[in-house]
Amino acid sequence: MNLWKLEWLRMTRSSKGIALVGVFVFFGIIGPLSAAYIGEILEQFGGGIEITFPEPTAADGITQYVGNVQQIGLLVLVMIAAGALTMESRYEMAVFLRTRVRNARQLLAPRFVVVAAFGVVAYAVGLLVAWYETAVLIESPDVGAMAAIFALGATYLIFAVAVVAFAGTHLKKVLPSVMLTLGILLIVPIFGLFPPVAEWLPSHLLGSSNDLLRGGEVADYWRSFVVTVGMTFVLLAASVRGLGRREL
Amino acid sequence: MIQTVGLSKKYGSKFAVNDVSINVAPGSVYGLVGPNGAGKTTILGILAGLREATSGSFDLGVPASRVAVLPDTPQFEPWLTAREVIQLGKQLTAPDSPLDRIDEVLSDAGLADVAEQRVGGFSRGMLQRLGLAATVVGDPEVLLLDEPSSALDPSGRRDVLDLVGQLRGKATVMFSSHILGDVQEVCDAVGIVQDGRLLYEGSIEGLLVGKAGLTYQVRVRSGTEAVVSGLSGLSWVESAQSPSPGLVRVIVTDPAAAETALVPMLATMDVPVISITPQTADLEDVFLELTT
C-alpha cells in the first residue's frame, strides 16, 4: 500500500471512478443519438408541426457529446477531484498523511495524476462510444480531427483538475473548492470577449471539436494549448507551495 | 530529548502558546495537561511541523521522519481495511521494516481479528487503537499523541493507556490530556498548561510532594463544634472547618506537629472519634490549585 494505490482505491472502491466513466459513456451514447434523431424527437413534441433539420453530420454527433461532457461531465469531474484534492476536508486524515510524507509534492502528485487520469480515460471512453455511434448512425468522423479533439479535450480536463488542486490546497472544505474551481473556469472565458485574447485562453479549446470536424486547422489551437499546459504547471506549483505552507 | 525554548504561537493578538519551555527526557512518557483551549494541541502541532511557531525554538532530537503524530480522533478513509491503514503507515515511515511488523502492531492493538474489515464500520475506540497502531508501526523515536484516550469508554481507555505504557523506554512520548487520572497513571513527568503558559513542569511525585498529609479528615459521632473550636487557633493548625455534621477538615502547617499532637488533642476533647485520615493530594487537586 502506498499513496498511488491509495488514490487508485479511492476511485475504484468508492465507485467514484465508475460514476465518472459512466457519466462520460452516457453522454457518448446520448450525444450522437440526439444529433441523429433530433428532428424525429422534436416532432414527437411538436403537435403535428413538421420540423425540417439539415442532414446531421459527424460534427453534430461528436460536438453534441463534447458539449455535454464540457458541462455536466466537467462538473462531475470537478466534484470528484475536489473530494480527493481538498486535503484538509478530513483533518485527521490530513494530519496522518502530512506528518508522514517528506513534502507536499509527494502527497499531491498521486491525487492529481490519478484523478486526472480517470478524467482523461472517461473522456476517451465516452469519445470512442460517441465516435462508434456517430459512424453507425451518421457518418464516420475524420480520424485526424478525432485525435486532435481527444488531445485538446484531455488537455482542458487536466487543466480543470489542476484548478481543483489549486482550490483544494488553499481551502478547507470540498464545496468551497468546487465553487472556486467553477468560478475560475467560468470567469476565464469572459476574457475571450476580447478577440485578440480569446485564442490564447484555455477555454478556446472547448470549441475545437466542431471547428476541427468542419475542416478547421489544429494549428489554430496551439496558442491556447501551450497556455493551458503552462497554466496547469503553474497551478500545480502553486498548489504544492500552498499545501506545504498551509498550517493544519 | 524533546526541548522547546520560549515557544510562542500568536493568532492575531492572542497567544495560543506563550513562552513555553519544555524538557522531555529520552524514553519517557510526558503528559501535557490542561483544560480545553489551554494550548496543548497547538504545542503538539508546532512540534509535529503542522504549525509554525511565532517565536521560540524546539528540538525533537531526531529527524522529522522518526516522529509520529496521532490526532485526538483518528480517522481514515472508510474504504480502507485496518491492515491497509497499517500498511500505508509502514510504507510511509519504515518501508524496509519486516512485514511481520504489521501483524505485530495489529495484534498489540487488539485488531488482529478485524484486520481485513473496512474501517468505515469501526467504533471510535477501535479507530483510536488503529491510529495508535499506525503511529507505532514505523517504530518512531518520538511520538506526539493528542488526547489519545479522550472520549473512550473505560475498556478503550485501558487499552490505549496500556499501549502508551508499553512505549516507555522504546520511544519518547508526549501526550496531551485533560484526563488527569490517565496522566497520573502512565506519565513519568507532566507539564501543566493554562492559557498558553506552562505553569509547572516536572515529575508527578515532585508536583505532589508537600501536598500529601497537609489535610486531615476527622470523623466524629458527635461534638463537631467542640473539635472545630478546640483545634482552631493552635500554632500548627491553619484552619479547622466542618463541611458537614460529623466531619472536620483540618489543614495543618506542620505535618510533624500534627502527627504528634492531633490525637492527644482530640483525646482531651472527650468526643467519640470514628476516624482520623490524612488526606493525600492527587493530581486533580494540585491541577485545580494551579489553574484556579
The ipTM (two decimal places) reads 0.82
A92 at B interface, C-beta within 8 A:
yes
d(CA B9, CA B32): 17
Closest CA to A118 of A163, A81, A152, A72: A81
**Mutating which of B42, B44, B47, B50 best tests the A interface, going by the most A Cβ atoms within 10 A?**
B50
Q: Which spans in B15-122 are helix H?
A: 40-47, 82-93, 100-108
Question: What are residue B242's phi and psi, to 5 degrees?
Answer: -115, 105
Distances (CA, A) of B54 to B19, B46, B51, B60, B69: 10, 10, 9, 18, 21
The sign of the torsion formed by the CA atoms of A92, A96, A102, A108 equals negative
CA distances from A88 to A93, A162, B267 (A): 8, 17, 69
Q: Using 70 as the pLDDT threshold, list the residues of chain B that sit under it.
A: 151, 209-213, 280-282, 292
Question: Closest to B50 (Cβ–Cβ): which among A1, A14, A98?
Answer: A98
Say whether B52 and A10 touch across the interface (CB within 8 A).
no
Place of cell 502512565: B186
A 95-124 → B contacts, CB under 8 A: 95-102
pLDDT at residue B87, rounded to an integer: 94
Q: What is the pLDDT of residue B82?
A: 95
d(CA A156, CA B223): 91
Residue A153: predicted pLDDT: 93
Distances (CA, A) of A237 to A137, A230, B92: 45, 11, 23
A-B Cβ pairs (cutoff 8 Å, strict): 64
Q: Which three cell numbers stand for residue A163?
A: 484548478
Q: How far is B230 from chain A (nearest CA, A)?
A: 60
Is the separation of the CB atoms in B66 and B140 below 8 Å?
yes
Interface test with A, best of B11, B80, B88 (most A CBs within 10 A): B88
- Residues with Cβ within 8 Å of residue A164, at least 6 apart in sequence: A78, A81, A82, A85, A115, A177, A178, A181
B186 inside 8 A of chain A by CB = no
Can you give the pLDDT at residue B172? 93
Predicted confidence at residue B43, as pLDDT, reads: 93
- Using a 10 angstrom Cβ sphere, with 0-12 exposed, 13-18 middle and 19 or more buried, the burial of residue B47 is buried
What is the Cα–Cα distance from B92 to B87, expressed in whole angstroms?
Answer: 9
Reading chain A (248 residues) residue by residue, the pLDDT tens digits are 899 999 999 999 988 999 999 999 999 999 888 887 877 777 777 666 676 777 888 888 899 899 999 989 999 999 999 999 998 888 888 888 888 888 889 999 999 999 999 999 999 999 999 999 999 988 888 898 999 999 999 999 999 999 999 999 999 899 999 999 999 999 988 888 887 888 899 988 888 888 888 888 888 899 999 999 999 999 999 999 988 887 87
Of residues B50, B76, B89, nearest to A248 (C-beta): B50
Cell of B159: 487499552
Residue with cell 463544634: B225
Is there a contact between A203 and A192 (Cβ–Cβ < 8 Å)?
Answer: yes
Main-chain phi, psi angles of B191, to 5 degrees? -125, 125
B151 touches chain A (CB under 8 A): no
Residue B93: which of A92, A95, A100 has the nearest Cβ?
A: A100
**All three cell numbers of B141:** 523515536
Residue found by looking up cell 521494516 in the block: B97
The pLDDT value recorded for residue B219 is: 92
Q: Secondary structure of chain A in the HEC alphabet?
A: CCHHHHHHHHHHHCCHHHHHHHHHHHHHHHHHHHHHHHHHHHHHCCCCCCCCCCCCCHHHHHHHHHHHHHHHHHHHHHHHHHHHHCHHHCHHHHHHHHCCCCCHHHHHHHHHHHHHHHHHHHHHHHHHHHHHHHHHHCCCCCHHHHHHHHHHHHHHHHHHHHHHHHHHCCCCCHHHHHHHHHHHHHHHHHHHHCHHHHCCCHHHHHHHHHHHHCCCCHHHHHHHHHHHHHHHHHHHHHHHHHHHHCCC
* Nearest CA-CA distance, residue B51 and chain A, Å: 5
Q: Which of A120, A126, A116, A141 is nearest to A65 (CA)?
A: A126
Residues 56..85 of B with a Cβ closer than 8 Å to A: which? 65, 67-69, 71, 73-77, 79-80, 84
Window 80-109 of B: residues touching A by CB (8 A cutoff) are 80, 84, 87-89, 91-93
φ and ψ of B220, to 5 deg: -130, 150
Residues A121, A137: Cα–Cα separation, whole Å: 24
Q: How far apart are CA A199 and CA A193, in angstroms?
A: 10
Q: Choose among B2, B155, B128: nearest CA to B70.
A: B128
Do A216 and A59 contact (CB within 8 A), yes or no?
A: no
Q: Strand, coil or helix: what is B188?
A: coil
Given an 8 Å threshold on Cβ–Cβ distance, is A96 in contact with B87? Answer: no
With beta carbons less than 8 A apart as the criterion, state whether A38 and A50 touch: no
Interface contact B92-A100, CB threshold 8 A: yes
A9 near B CB under 8 A: yes
In this prediction, residue A41 carries a pLDDT of 76
Please list the residues that pair with A206 across neighbouring strands: none
Subunit contact A6:B75, Cβ cutoff 8 A = no
Q: Which residues of A touch B71 (CB under 8 A)?
A: 91-92, 95-96
Q: Return the residue of B nearest to A102 by Cα.
A: B65
Does the beta-carbon distance from B51 to A248 stay under 8 Å?
A: yes
Do A93 and A3 meet the contact criterion of CB atoms below 8 Å apart? no
User: Cell numbers of A10, please?
Assistant: 479511492
Cell of A134: 456517430
B31 Cβ under 8 Å from any chain A Cβ: no
From B69, B74, B80, residue closest to A9, measured CB to CB? B80
Nearest to A227 by CA among A211, A195, A193, A204: A204
User: What is the residue whose three cell numbers read 470528484?
Assistant: A80
